[in-house]
Amino acid sequence: MKQYVGISRDHSGSMSHLKERARIDYNEIINALENASKQHDADTIVSVVSHQGSIRREVINSSVNSLKPLTNYPTPGASTPLFDSVRDLITMLSAVPDAESSGVTFLVMAVTDGQDNASNISGRELGQIIRKLQNTDRWTFVFRVPRGERRSLEALGIPPGNIQEWDQTEYGFREATDQTLDAVTQYYGNVSRGIRSTSTFYADLGHVSRQQVQRTMTDVSRDVSIWSVDRRTDILSFIERKSGEPYRKGSAFYQLSKTEKAVQDYKVIAVRNKNNGAVYTGTNARNLLNLPTSGTIKLAPGDHGEWDIFIQSTSTNRVLLPGTSVLYWKS
């Protein structure tokens, strides 16, 4: 398994207040690539460019095992030539000797806190190149951008499931990192099974239609109750107070509202439509979220469109937070 990865880093001045988080983000992603490569016996070759007014090649086709962590993250740039940085990565990766081999896959990842404002290549030109490469079914392009920038990237041909909008705060960046680490792990697992590209890199229900859920999952709306949490409490006390019955492990589902580091494969996941209140469950919930169907996973909240996500609790002391909801499924 041969995997090429291209990374575009934003070193513009607007990133200065997040430069330490950006440094950590890059180091953790490199570490995730290395771990996934070992787990799936993949030969991963990485190229990195920074854009800081101009384009700078930081790493050129190096083994992921030889990369050194960043110790600082300077932000001297005055503009954001995002499109040029992605074009430069494409140029480098397309030139590798085995670029046309059917067993070789490419992953291009870009992160920015702004929008392109200084590239020589136009969005239309870059979009044509990206679409052509995606059509080979061996190239995956992934962007992390500020909220509101999704449409401009969709216009380039980037699948909605490969775009992550994030808040330009320490917390927002940390959440974006967590979701990306999970996605890298899932991506490598898919490639090892012969899936050479993806249009759903991030666990995201935001672009899953109501028809898809209705067609592939079971409607359990009549069998469940959903209660709002008004104060911090443990799940046992909350369920017994609301139901008037003894609490049974597994009958309550907490709403995903923060990163969950260990969601075991035996736990049921349910989704609720925010518009009509319908609740669905089934094994396909993990497929729709682009999650592994076996093994313990880490799941982070994101922009899930018209869907709320609920995870089965198997404990008695799970802490419930005010402002969230609990799904109760007695049977």
Same domain, residue pair 169 and 25:
yes
Q: What residue type is assigned to position 160 of the chain?
A: P
Residue 199 falls within a domain, yes or no?
Answer: no
Same domain, residue pair 36 and 179:
yes
Residue 62 falls within a domain, yes or no?
Answer: yes
pLDDT band at 211 (very low <50, low <70, confident <90, very high): confident
Same domain, residue pair 36 and 116:
yes
Residue 220 falls within a domain, yes or no?
Answer: yes
Instruction: Please give the average per-residue pLDDT across 283-287, as a whole number.
Output: 73
The per-residue DSSP string of 91-157 comes to HHHHTSTTTT-TTEEEEEEEE-SS---S-SS-HHHHHHHHHHHHTTTSEEEEEEEETT-HHHHHTTT
Summarised one tens digit per residue, pLDDT across range 178-209 is 889 888 987 898 888 888 998 878 765 665 66
Same domain, residue pair 239 and 177:
no
Q: Is residue 31's pLDDT more than 90?
A: yes
- Which one is predicted more confidently, 185 or 232? 232
Query: What CATH number has the domain bearing residue 118?
Result: 3.40.50.410
Same domain, residue pair 227 and 161:
no
Same domain, residue pair 158 and 215:
no
pLDDT band at 300 (very low <50, low <70, confident <90, very high): low
Structural domain of 149: 2-192
Residue 205 falls within a domain, yes or no?
Answer: no
- Which one is predicted more confidently, 143 or 298? 143
Residue 31 falls within a domain, yes or no?
Answer: yes
Same domain, residue pair 56 and 96:
yes
Distance CA 266, CA 251 (A): 14
Residue 200 falls within a domain, yes or no?
Answer: no
pLDDT band at 34 (very low <50, low <70, confident <90, very high): very high
pLDDT of amino acid 205: 61
Same domain, residue pair 7 and 102:
yes
Instruction: Please give the average per-residue pLDDT across 18-44, as a whole number.
Output: 96
Same domain, residue pair 83 and 145:
yes
pLDDT band at 294 (very low <50, low <70, confident <90, very high): low
pLDDT band at 233 (very low <50, low <70, confident <90, very high): very high
Q: With contact defined as beta carbons under 8 Å apart, do 322 and 230 qualify?
A: yes
pLDDT of amino acid 295: 66
Q: Is residue 303's pLDDT more than 60?
A: no
Same domain, residue pair 107 and 242:
no
Q: According to DSSP H, which parts of 117-267 are helical?
A: 123-134, 150-154, 170-192, 210-216, 235-243
Instruction: Please give the average per-residue pLDDT across 118-131, as a whole number.
Output: 96
Number of domains in the chain: 2
Residue 285 falls within a domain, yes or no?
Answer: yes
pTM, to two decimals: 0.71
Q: With contact defined as beta carbons under 8 Å apart, do 277 and 221 qualify?
A: yes
Same domain, residue pair 184 and 215:
no
**Average pLDDT over all residues of the chain:** 90
Summarised one tens digit per residue, pLDDT across range 241-279 is 999 999 999 999 999 877 676 678 788 889 898 888 999
How many CA within 13 A on the CB side of residue 116? 22
pLDDT of amino acid 298: 63
pLDDT of amino acid 285: 75
Q: Is residue 297's pLDDT more than 70?
A: no
297-299 and 279-281 as β-strands: parallel, antiparallel, unpaired? unpaired
pLDDT of amino acid 137: 94
Q: Is residue 169's pLDDT more than 70?
A: yes
Instruction: Please give the average per-residue pLDDT across 158-186, as a whole number.
Output: 88
Summarised one tens digit per residue, pLDDT across range 64-108 is 999 999 999 999 988 999 999 999 999 999 999 999 999 999 999
Nearest to 255 by CA among 83, 70, 238, 287: 238
pLDDT band at 283 (very low <50, low <70, confident <90, very high): confident
